[in-house]
């Protein structure tokens, strides 16, 4: 499989493959580890060389799965992205967090290191560590994730954009708001967009008429969605799969170019919102109820609280509410009063700082 690359701004000519494979929810269950390692090796055999992970995924477990999958293999042909928790992005803390990620990934460098979402640590501090990590060649490029237009504009206006090469945000057929304001601003700044949760299979399949278009194109819905990303080229998609047959489907779809009329038909079924919407984000999964309850207790200040607050598998948009299950947490019920993802994030930052 032939995959084009994009050269990242603010780097020494670092190139990133225009499709990657995600790893969220890998490394969470020891019984699935062998299968996940096999899936990642299969993905590489198919020609995927770009893999996306984070210290958050499985609390380092996904990084370990990647480390196991590619131990002893040619490192030069791989492009690895990892992400730092916002509360690990303070001066010196990010160096330590990166060292841990390197160890788990069994490598001496990360190709792209992202601040996972905006936090309360001043961005200048994060940049100081990013500069050091770049100088030491422990990372080859630095970027951000889940920053909206205003957050990115603030960074640029403050003259702090000189290391930022990428912003990774949610972008898929049902969640296209970023195309209105964020993507044009990023393009103006030369910052590359990476699309997370690019498939969004459940909600996409429910769009009336989508399955019929996929059938006509001789594609599955997942393949149609991936081809939609690849044809449009607005952002680099990083679909996740732990299944050999799904990876085969993704590899085939990565080469498909949809016709302008097919793109128009998809557009008609899932049009852009009429005006810009708050950045839509997918919050982290947090499955451990006892730890969540512990984090809910008054006076608890540990990291469990932050993770607890971020628990949900749902996307948050203005006016949307937390799923009922997550609402069991009183803390989340509080957060639920906030309509937008941004307001919720700000609330979480205030509560945890």
Q: Which residues does the annotation mark as catalytic?
A: 57
With respect to ligand NAP, which residue has the nearer C-beta, 163 or 224? Answer: 224
* Residue 213 near residue 173 (C-beta atoms within 8 A): no
Whose structure tokens read 């989508």? Answer: 210
> In the numeric block, which tokens belong to residue 212?
């019929």
Does 52 contact ligand NAP by CB under 6 A? yes
For 119, which DSSP code? Answer: -
Residue of the chain from 16, 199, 230, 349 that contacts ligand NAP (CB under 6 A)? 199
- Helices marked H in 14-122 — which ranges? 33-46, 61-70, 93-105
Binding range to ligand NAP, per CB under 6 A, among 149-157, 197-205, 272-280, 335-343: 197-205
Does 17 contact ligand NAP by CB under 6 A? no
* Residue 38 near residue 244 (C-beta atoms within 8 A): yes
d(CA 334, CA 321): 11
Does 201 contact ligand NAP by CB under 6 A? yes
d(CA 173, CA 241): 18
d(CA 208, CA 225): 14
With respect to ligand NAP, which residue has the nearer C-beta, 14 or 115? Answer: 115
Does 204 contact ligand NAP by CB under 6 A? no
Angle at 172 between CA 169 and CA 178, to 5 degrees: 50
Binding range to ligand NAP, per CB under 6 A, among 87-95, 236-244, 286-294, 328-336: 236-244
Does 24 contact ligand NAP by CB under 6 A? yes
| Strand residues in 233-335 grouped as ranges (E) | 236-237, 281-282, 315-316
3-state DSSP assignment of residue 21: strand
Residue of the chain from 241, 312, 317, 340 that contacts ligand NAP (CB under 6 A)? 241
CB proximity list for 320: less than 8 A, separation 6 or greater: 314
Site for ligand NAP in 274-303 (CB under 6 A): 282
Residue of the chain from 173, 222, 251, 254 that contacts ligand NAP (CB under 6 A)? 222
Does 250 contact ligand NAP by CB under 6 A? yes
Does 256 contact ligand NAP by CB under 6 A? no
Binding range to ligand NAP, per CB under 6 A, among 88-96, 132-140, 242-250, 304-312: 242-250
Binding range to ligand NAP, per CB under 6 A, among 11-19, 124-132, 232-240, 261-269: 232-240
Binding site for ligand NAP (CB under 6 A): 22-24, 52, 116, 145-146, 168, 196-201, 220, 222, 238-243, 246, 249-250, 282
């Amino acid at each position: 499989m032939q995959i084009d690359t994009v050269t990242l701004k603010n780097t020494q000519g670092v190139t990133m493959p225009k499709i990657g494979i995600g790893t969220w929810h890998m490394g969470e269950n020891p019984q699935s580890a062998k299968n996940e390692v096999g899936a990642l090796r299969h993905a590489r055999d198919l020609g995927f060389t770009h893999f996306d992970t984070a210290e958050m995924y499985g609390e380092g477990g996904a990084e370990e799965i990647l480390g196991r999958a590619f131990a002893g293999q040619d490192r030069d042909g791989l492009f690895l992205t990892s992400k730092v928790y916002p509360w690990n992005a303070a001066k010196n803390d990010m160096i330590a967090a990166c060292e841990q990620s390197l160890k788990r990934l069994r490598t001496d460098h990360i190709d792209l290191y992202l601040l996972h979402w905006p936090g309360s640590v001043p961005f200048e501090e994060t940049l100081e560590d990013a500069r050091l990590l770049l100088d030491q060649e422990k990372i080859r490029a630095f970027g951000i994730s889940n920053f909206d237009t205003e957050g990115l504009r603030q960074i640029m206006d403050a003259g702090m954009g000189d290391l930022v090469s990428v912003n990774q945000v949610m972008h898929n057929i049902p969640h296209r708001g970023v195309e209105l304001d964020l993507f044009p601003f990023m393009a103006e700044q030369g910052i590359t967009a990476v699309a997370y949760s690019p498939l969004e299979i459940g909600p996409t399949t429910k769009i009336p008429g989508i399955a019929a278009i996929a059938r006509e194109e001789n594609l599955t819905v997942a393949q149609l969605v991936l081809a939609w990303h690849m044809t449009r080229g607005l952002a680099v998609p990083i679909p996740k799969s732990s299944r050999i047959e799904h990876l085969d489907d993704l590899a085939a779809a990565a080469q498909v170019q949809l016709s302008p009329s097919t793109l128009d038909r998809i557009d008609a079924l899932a049009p852009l919102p009429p005006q810009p919407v708050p950045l839509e984000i997918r919050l982290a999964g947090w499955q451990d109820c006892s730890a969540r309850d512990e984090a809910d207790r008054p006076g608890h200040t540990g990291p469990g609280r932050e993770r607890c607050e971020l628990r949900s598998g749902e996307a948050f948009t203005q006016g949307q509410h937390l799923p009922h299950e997550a609402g069991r947490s009183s803390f989340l019920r509080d957060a639920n009063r906030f309509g937008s993802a941004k307001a919720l994030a700000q609330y979480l930052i205030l509560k945890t700082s």
